């Protein structure tokens, strides 16, 4: 798996690196979606710039998410996901099955 933290912590990576990270996150989302009902599934996502940290005010000292602060900080991005109905490329049924099988046997 690509080092997601490396891209998030520094400047922007190359387009290929960003696409590789986006693809890896997409595969993880597909694996998670294979284990839940359609109503519980993730239908759109966006990789956000920066990190969630105590310094940014998005996490507590015990490293819990400050949901209200996150919603305020990323309101425009959240609204855009719902307004445009963005959808990530969907995996085929066979790809979803392979992802689910791989996640069951992952160490």
Task: Kindly report, residue by residue over 37-65, the tens digit of the pLDDT.
Answer: 988 999 888 888 888 999 999 999 999 99
Domain hosting 10: range is 4-105
pTM, whole model, 2 decimals?
A: 0.57
Q: What is the pLDDT of residue 12?
A: 57
Count of domains observed in the chain: 1
Share of the chain above pLDDT 90, in %: 42
Better pLDDT: 62 or 103: 62
The secondary structure of the chain, three-state, reads CCCHHHHHHCCCCCHHHHHHHHHHHHHHHHHHHCCCCHHHCCCCCCCCCCCCCCCCCCECCCCCECHHHHHHHCHHHHHHHHHHCCCCCCCCHHHHHHHHHHHHHCC
């Amino acid at each position: 798996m690509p080092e997601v933290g490396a891209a998030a912590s520094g400047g922007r990576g190359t387009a290929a690196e960003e696409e590789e990270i986006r693809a890896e996150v997409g595969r993880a989302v597909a694996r998670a979606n294979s284990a839940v009902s359609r109503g519980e599934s993730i239908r759109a996502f966006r990789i956000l710039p920066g990190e969630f940290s105590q310094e940014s005010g998005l996490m507590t000292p015990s490293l819990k998410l400050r949901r209200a602060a996150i919603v305020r900080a990323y309101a425009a991005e959240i609204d855009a996901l719902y307004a445009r109905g963005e959808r990530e490329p969907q995996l085929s049924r066979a790809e979803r099955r392979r992802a689910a099988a791989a996640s069951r046997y992952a160490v």
